[in-house]
Amino acid sequence: MRIGIGADHNAFGMKEALRQYIKDSGNEVVDFGCFSEDEVDYPDIAFQVGTAIQTGVVERGILVCGTGIGMSIAANKVPGIRSAQCHDVYSAERAQLSNDAQIITLGAKVIGLELAKKIVDAYLDVTFAGGQSKRKIDQISNQEKAYLGSVKG
């Protein structure tokens, strides 16, 4: 699987460790930054990963910031993207299995690296189940399209 990864300066170290972990697990990783501990704005990175999913450059994304909150909010602004903040294994599994989330976000100041690895594994090891969940995802997608169609630029 081709995974996009990105972080802000608060989570640079965790991103680097997860990038290598995901690669060592047999996945291809596209790194969208940041590339040092120099301060960066997380929305730019979240938008890049969301757009890469939207255009088929990557299949899924992992975003990390201090809390995971900002990255998730920003990623969810990219049309068609469903991002879920995850700080436990069950939520990560359900993010994909029930919600077809293309991106999960993690908080480097909230969880440790070993838990982050388990969360990433849980997310990447499952695929969207469809079923009754598909109806709900379709409702969300249809509302998004209706809203975007009503917005005048």
Q: Which residues are catalytic?
A: 65
Sign of the CA dihedral running 83, 87, 89, 91? negative
Answer for the pair 98, 129: CB distance below 8 angstroms, yes or no.
yes
CB atoms within 10 A of CB 133: 15
CB within 8 A of 66, min separation 6: which ones? 8, 10, 11, 107, 108, 109, 110
Q: Concatenated DSSP letters for 15-67?
A: HHHHHHHHHHTT-EEEE----SSS---HHHHHHHHHHHHHTTS-SEEEEEESS
Residue count of the chain, please give it: 153
